[in-house]
Chains A and B, each alone.
Chain A
Amino acid sequence: MNFTLRVWRQDGPETAGRFEEYPARNIPDEASFLEMLDLVNEDLIGKGIEPVEFDHDCREGICGTCSLTIDGVPHGPGRGTTCQLYMRSFREGEVIVIEPFRATPFPILRDLTVDRGAFDTIIQSGGFISERSGSAPDANAVPIPKTIADLAMDAASCIGCGACAAACPNSSAMLFVGAKVSHLGLLPQGKPEKNRRALSMVRSMDEAGFGNCSNYYACEAVCPASIPASFIASLNRQYAVAAAKETVGATL
Chain B
Amino acid sequence: MTPDAHIPDGPLKDKWTHYKNHAKIISPANKRKFKILIVGSGLAGGSAAATLGEQGYDIECFCYQDSPRRAHSIAAQGGINAAKNYQNDGDSAYRLFYDTVKGGDFRSRESNVHRLAEVSNAIIDQCVAQGVPFAREYGGLLGNRSFGGAQVSRTFYARGQTGQQLLLGTYQALSAQIGTGKVKMFPRTEMLDLVLVDGHAKGIVVRDMVTGEIRSHAGDAVLLCTGGYGNVFYLSTNAKGCNVTATWRAYKRGAFFANPCYTQIHPTCIPVSGDYQSKLTLMSESLRNDGRVWAPKRKEDCAKAPQDIPEEDRDYYLERKYPSFGNLAPRDISSRSAKEICDEGRGVGPTGLGVYLDFADAIKRLGRDVVEERYSNLFEMYHNITGENAYERPMRIYPAVHYTMGGLWVDYNLMSNIPGLHVLGEANFSDHGANRLGASALMQGLADGYFVIPYTLGNYLTSQFGKKRPETTDPAFQEVEKEVRERTAALLAVKGTRSVDSFHRELGMLLWDKCGMARDKAGLEEAIARLPKLREEFWKDVRVLGVGENLNESLEKAGRVADFLEFGELMCRDALARDESCGGHFRIDHQTPDGEALRDDENFSHVAAWQYQGPNAVPTRNEEPLVYEEVKLATRSYK
Chain A interface (Cβ within 8 Å of chain B)? Answer: 11-12, 27-28, 30-32, 34-35, 38-39, 42, 45-46, 48-51, 53, 55-65, 80, 84, 86, 88, 109-110, 113, 115-117, 119-120, 123-140, 142-146, 149-150, 152-153, 156-157, 159-160, 183-184, 187, 189-190
Contact = CB atoms under 8 A, between A and B. Distances in A.
B82 to A, nearest CB: 8
Given A139-B128, A157-B161, 5 more contacts: A45-B543, A45-B554, A60-B75, A127-B175, A132-B54
A140 B141 contact: yes
A35 to B, nearest CB: 5
Most chain-B Cβ atoms within 10 A of its Cβ — which of A48, A56, A60, A65? A60
B140 A133 contact: no
Contact of B47 (A116, A119, A133): A133
A192 to B, nearest CB: 11
Contact of A61 (B140, B158, B381): B381
A189 B381 contact: no
Given A124-B176, A131-B129, A137-B125, A35 B187 contact: no
A136 B384 contact: no
Contacts of B185: 120
Interface stretch (B164-172, B291-299, B599-607): B164-172
B190 to A, nearest CB: 13
Given A62-B161, A63-B239, A123 B129 contact: no
Contacts of A132: 54
A35 B281 CA distance: 14
B545 A129 contact: no
Contact of A57 (B125, B240, B282, B551): B240
B70 A120 contact: no
A60 to B, nearest CB: 5
A50 B501 CA distance: 14
A187 B131 contact: yes
B545 A144 contact: no
Given A35-B276, A35-B277, A64-B69, A51 B128 contact: no
A31 B276 contact: yes
B239 A57 contact: yes
Nearest to B128: A139
Contacts of B303: none
B360 interface: no
Contacts of A135: 129
Q: 8 shortest A-B CB distances, which residue pairs?
A: A143-B140, A136-B129, A128-B172, A124-B179, A136-B125, A153-B133, A139-B128, A110-B551
Given A144-B136, A153-B159, A38 B501 contact: yes
29 contacts: A12-B550, A12-B551, A30-B387, A35-B278, A38-B276, A45-B543, A53-B553, A56-B240, A58-B72, A58-B75, A59-B278, A62-B75, A63-B70, A84-B381, A86-B385, A88-B387, A120-B68, A120-B175, A123-B172, A128-B173, A128-B175, A134-B454, A136-B126, A139-B84, A140-B84, A140-B86, A152-B133, A153-B159, A156-B133
Contact of A134 (B138, B278, B451, B543): B451
Contact of B130 (A53, A57, A189): A189
A189 B141 contact: no
A28 B274 contact: yes
Contact of A64 (B50, B70, B125): B70
A63 B543 CA distance: 29
B150 to A, nearest CB: 19
A86 B386 CA distance: 10
B450 interface: yes
B117 to A, nearest CB: 16
Contacts of A28: 273-274, 276
B90 interface: no
Contacts of A109: 210, 551
Given A42-B501, A56-B240, A62-B161, A127 B172 contact: yes
Q: Is the interface of A mostly helix, strand, loop or mixed?
A: loop
A150 B68 CA distance: 25
Contacts of A150: 133, 136
Nearest to A124: B179
Contacts of A11: 550
Interface string B512-528: 00000000000000000
Interface residues of B, number: 81
Contacts of B501: 38, 42
Interface string B228-252: 0000000001011100000000000
Given A57-B240, A133-B51, A117 B172 contact: no
Contacts of B273: 28, 30
Nearest to A123: B175
Given A136-B128, A184-B131, A153 B158 contact: yes
B65 A57 contact: yes
Most chain-A Cβ atoms within 10 A of its Cβ — which of B122, B134, B176, B543? B176
Most chain-A Cβ atoms within 10 A of its Cβ — which of B175, B237, B385? B175
A76 to B, nearest CB: 13
B66 A65 contact: yes
Contacts, number: 221
Contacts of A61: 381
Most chain-A Cβ atoms within 10 A of its Cβ — which of B66, B69, B72, B278? B66
Contacts of B72: 57-58, 63
Interface in B296-320: none
A189 to B, nearest CB: 5
Interface string B141-159: 1100000000000000011
B122 A136 contact: yes
B171 A51 contact: no
Contacts of B129: 129, 131, 135-137, 189
Contacts of A146: 136-138, 140
Given A12-B550, A35-B276, A153-B158, A145 B84 contact: no
B540 interface: no
Given A124-B179, A156-B165, A62 B278 contact: no
B126 A133 contact: yes
B67 interface: yes
Contacts of A160: 67, 69-70
Contact of B128 (A124, A128, A189): A189
Contact of B499 (A42, A110, A143, A184): A42
B83 interface: no
Nearest to A61: B381
Contacts of B138: 145-146
A140 B124 CA distance: 10
A128 B176 contact: yes
A119 B178 CA distance: 13
Nearest to A131: B129
A149 B128 CA distance: 11
B546 interface: yes
B371 interface: no
Contacts of B450: 133-134
Contacts of A138: 125
Contacts of A49: 545
A59 B240 contact: yes
Contact of B141 (A30, A143, A184): A143
Given A42-B501, A143-B141, A120 B69 contact: yes
Contact of A133 (B159, B279, B282, B451): B451
A117 B185 CA distance: 11
B160 to A, nearest CB: 10
A108 B319 CA distance: 54
A156 B168 CA distance: 8
A59 B279 contact: yes
Nearest to B67: A120
